[in-house]
Amino acid sequence: MKKTKIRIISLLVVITLLQIGCTPYPVIQEPDTQRFNQTVHSTSLRDSLAEGKLTAGMPYFVVSKLFENWTDGIKEVQIPVATLGSKQRLVEEEGWSRNYVDPNIKVFLDKYETPKGNLYIWYERPNFYTMDVSWKDTLCVFYNDSVYCSVINYLNKSTLLTIKDSLPQLPADTDLYGEIRYKDHQWREVTYWYSLQILSNAKTFKLVDTNYELYPIEFLEFNNEPISSFKWREVSNEN
Amino acid sequence: MKIKKDFIKGNKKIKIISNDGQAYPIPEKWQPVLSKCDMLVVIPDMHMYVYNSHLDNFKYGADAMLKFLNHLGSLKEEMELVDQTLRIYQLGDLYEQRFPGLHGPNATAVEIRMSHPSYDQIINSMDSVRTHFLYGNHDFELRHFPSFRFAALEGKVYIEHGFTADSWTDFANPRAKYWEASQFVFLTIREINEFFANLLVAANLIPRDEFYSWGVTSGKDPFYNYPSEKDYLKNYGHCLKYYSDRMKSNNELKDTKITVIGHTHHPYIKTDVNNGKHIFIDAGAWTSGRSDFVVITNEELAICCYQR
């Protein structure tokens, strides 16, 4: 009886292992939608994600999740580059073959080789200067199911801006979700999103420090052509 | 400004470790010692390295550093509202680039910074509070960039990483004659270390988690103590002598009253240098379990630590 049990268990183990071995692993993983929705409130960005499209304005963690298990083609990530659109890795050398790179680099590039062609994704540390925010653009802040919008009066510095209206209903020392709606770039489908804190004067907003997982994607290129979105499910299905 | 009242402000994580927990008063006739700011905070050696490497002895202190930088950010904003300035320095050896790990000849600052979200956030937070950076012997390459300097002078306070007191035989002075050659020797030692350590791991004699290179502790256990003067003088007495002599004999910096260095990872204050004419401060380290920093106002100074 014992021997029969052992044989049955062994057979089950072998079948299970064969099953695991033959299961096709997804090379492109779906991003963490829950985390995305907690981070980004922009309707257009949420719609893009639901449709399986990677677009400018999304946080970088979407890309890193999509290609987490990508082993089919060349994958180079976090390449330090000088500007958006540049593909040249920055590296300098001195002494006995020591390499160094300017630690102040703020633009990075990911390169993925897919069956349909090469995908390039640029992302950078956001601030109000690099994101083209300016006077008369509108800042919308989301708090407690309400949206508070006001026209931007001026930029104090790259991480600080002041709006025209006072918003005393917003709490200080709390990370708030904010979006910029551009006056001069209404053709843009997506707005950029920010984590902000309001200062005690109820008019000035400070950009909260972030890390590369939340850097916005700024620019995408596929087969050397700029693209507005990358439809990952189409690539995934072909595999 | 007083350190407990105006800097610590009830933050229970911050403790003064020098002078038995009390800030040291700056002699009245020296005041003001600061010229361009009202408060000076000096962050010593951090030695950030690629996060997953066993040579990275900063990672256990990373969360505390983020909280500390948040404290500095709030303090800086509050001081600006009343037209006061907080100036922050990082003393060099921010990155571990010169004593390479085992998985490659060295790592660039960008590779280290991007090796973990917390590391990138620390650098971004340091930028946000407008930290002034010096370079040390472990990130000597950074001297090529304008935002990194060899030394700084803030009123009567001179700030430098501290490697110039070393000879080439210490493997630690990039300005010494035989430093490049000694670095090559050091790398060879590390490679030998890797070979034997891998054998020990393969033989299950040491667990992988404790697979650290010789002389590099993990930093998993925090150290908040203030080491004895005897230890400092025994191991780093040459640093004290070198900077004491410089303060005494350097006519170009004759107004300098206080020298702050790092480099040794050993916090220490001597307040009666050159018969009470100068003060010497070794800021300690924020790596290998330590989380020290120095605070100087026009009235007081102290070495503090930020507890995890």
**pLDDT score recorded for residue A8:** 67
Token match 């709490």: residue?
Answer: A171
Decide if A96 and B184 are in contact by the 8 Å CB cutoff. Answer: yes
How far is the alpha carbon of A216 from chain B, nearest alpha carbon, in Å? 14
Decide if A209 and B121 are in contact by the 8 Å CB cutoff. Answer: yes
B306 pLDDT more than 70? yes
Chain A positions touching B98 (Cβ under 8 A) are: 98
- Highest mean pLDDT (candidates A209-223, B46-60, B198-212, B280-294): B280-294
B76 touches chain A (CB under 8 A): no
DSSP 3-state of A19: helix
Tell me which chain A residue has its CA closest to the CA of residue B140: A100
Chain A positions touching B90 (Cβ under 8 A) are: none
Express each pLDDT in B15-30 by its tens digit: 999 999 999 999 999 9
**pLDDT score recorded for residue A97:** 65
CA distance A122 to A19: 39
As a whole number, the mean pLDDT across chain A is: 84
Express each pLDDT in B213-236 by its tens digit: 666 678 889 999 999 999 999 999
B231 touches chain A (CB under 8 A): no
Predicted-complex ipTM score: 0.83
What is the token pair recorded at B304? 């503090």
pLDDT, mean of residues B199-212? 73
Decide if B109 and A91 are in contact by the 8 Å CB cutoff. Answer: no
Burial of B242 per CB tally in 10 Å (0-12, 13-18, 19+)? middle
Expressed in angstroms, the distance from the first to the final Cα of chain A is 46
Using CB atoms and an 8 Å cut-off, which of residues 162-191 of chain B contact chain A?
Answer: 180, 183-184
pLDDT band at A23 (very low <50, low <70, confident <90, very high): very low
Residue B162 in contact with residue B173, Cβ under 8 Å? Answer: no
B120 pLDDT more than 70? yes
**pLDDT score recorded for residue B233:** 96
Q: How many CB pairs under 8 A join A and B?
A: 67
Residue A140 in contact with residue A182, Cβ under 8 Å? Answer: no
Decide if B180 and A105 are in contact by the 8 Å CB cutoff. Answer: no
How far is the alpha carbon of A16 from chain B, nearest alpha carbon, in Å? 30
Express each pLDDT in A82-121 by its tens digit: 999 999 999 888 776 677 888 889 999 999 998 888 999 9
CA distance A32 to B142: 37
CA distance B37 to B132: 13
B117 touches chain A (CB under 8 A): yes
A227 pLDDT more than 90? yes
**pLDDT score recorded for residue B44:** 98
CA distance A110 to A112: 7
Q: Which amino acid is at A18?
A: L
CA dihedral angle for residue A46, residue A49, residue A53, residue A57, rounded to 10 degrees? 50
For B120, the closest of A96, A99, A211 (CB atoms) is A211
Nearest to residue B268, comparing CAs of B286, B282, B257? B282
CA distance B29 to B165: 29
What is the token pair recorded at A214? 């939340």
pLDDT, mean of residues B114-130? 94
Chain A positions touching B73 (Cβ under 8 A) are: 209
**∠ CA B62-B85-A106, rounded to 5°:** 45
CA distance B120 to B46: 14
**pLDDT score recorded for residue A193:** 75
CA distance A117 to A119: 7
Express each pLDDT in A143-189 by its tens digit: 988 999 999 999 998 888 999 999 999 998 788 988 888 887 665 55
**pLDDT score recorded for residue A65:** 94
How far is the alpha carbon of A36 from chain B, nearest alpha carbon, in Å? 17
Decide if B110 and A101 are in contact by the 8 Å CB cutoff. Answer: yes
CA distance B257 to B281: 11
Tell me which chain A residue has its CA closest to the CA of residue B98: A98
B191 pLDDT more than 90? no
How far is the alpha carbon of B276 from chain A, nearest alpha carbon, in Å? 40
